[in-house]
Amino acid sequence: MITKNDFHQLLASLGNNNPSFTELNLAFHAIGDEGANALAGVIGSNSNLTGLDLSSVDMTDNSAMNLANAISKHPKLKFLSLRCNQLGDTGAQAFFNVLHEQTVLETLFLSKNHITDNAIPSLISCLKHNKKLKTLDLDNNLITNVGLVKLNEIFTTNFSLIELQLNNNPGITKEANVYIVLIKQSLARKKRILTLIRNLDKQINYLKALDHQISKINQNANTFRLHLNQKANNFTRENNYFSILKAAENRLTAEIRELQNIGYPGAEHWLD
């Protein structure tokens, strides 16, 4: 169990944006609402944190809003576990509400938090807007068939969530298993679609890279072509100069020979 002094030192280090804090695990340390509120006050100061585990820390809805607001502004936090606390519907709704705009968090564990159907509308609203959340764990809560049926409706519009856990909710009866099957089928289809999209993105990136290489080759070829044209133009000009000089030389030779033919003094040596 973490001591109060160690916890305050941890908060100070976290608040100083310590680069070693990429993951923080406080699971099973009973920091309670006081500790959760203190953590909420400094978590925004650490931009390196990607994972936070607050399972079984005696949190309630009294600290949920502060922590949810702090997490909503965090630039890198992708994993959050709040398993086995006492958040209830109010606490769960606090996190669902801020996830409307939060675009980083991918995994949220809320199992065993006394969450009922009353929190489902907030969750549905969240899933209509959030495009990043991939995994949501709601095992061991108090959700019933009514909440399950409502949840089934969201999967026609949400394409990011690919794993939803609803095990051991006593209010979900065997008769409602058909909805669980439909949800799992929907999630499986989305997972396949996302895999296809990722593969397609890889192919697109490969083609973009290939196109870039071809553009560089064409650019180099154009540069070489311009160089060759310049050489050819220089060669043509040199040939023209040579032709002019040759013609002048021929004319001069012809005139000298005429002078030789008429016996002009000294002309007999001009072509030696």
Question: Which residues touch 267 (CB under 8 Å, ≥6 apart)?
Answer: 256, 259, 260
Structure tokens belonging to residue 25: 């695990």
Maximum Cα–Cα distance across the chain: 133
pLDDT in tens, the chain (272 residues): 788 888 988 888 888 887 878 899 999 999 999 999 999 999 888 888 999 999 999 999 999 999 999 998 888 999 999 999 999 999 999 999 988 877 799 999 999 999 999 999 999 999 888 888 999 999 999 999 999 888 887 777 777 888 889 999 999 988 777 777 777 777 677 666 667 677 777 878 877 887 788 788 778 777 777 777 787 677 677 677 677 777 767 777 777 777 777 777 766 776 66
Structure tokens belonging to residue 175: 């008769």
Give residue for tokens 């030192």.
9
The helix/strand/coil state of 163 is strand
Helix, strand, coil in percent for the chain, rounding step 5? 60, 10, 30
Cα-based angle 206, 209, 211 (whole degrees, multiple of 5): 110
Distances (CA, A) of 251 to 147, 241, 243, 259: 108, 15, 12, 13
Starting at the edge strand found earlier in the chain, the sheet holding 107-109 runs: 23-25, 51-53, 79-81, 107-109, 135-137, 163-165
Q: Judging by beta carbons within 10 Å of its beta carbon (0-12, 13-18, 19+), is residue 230 exposed, middle or buried? A: exposed
Amino acid at 39: L
Q: pTM to 2 decimals?
A: 0.70
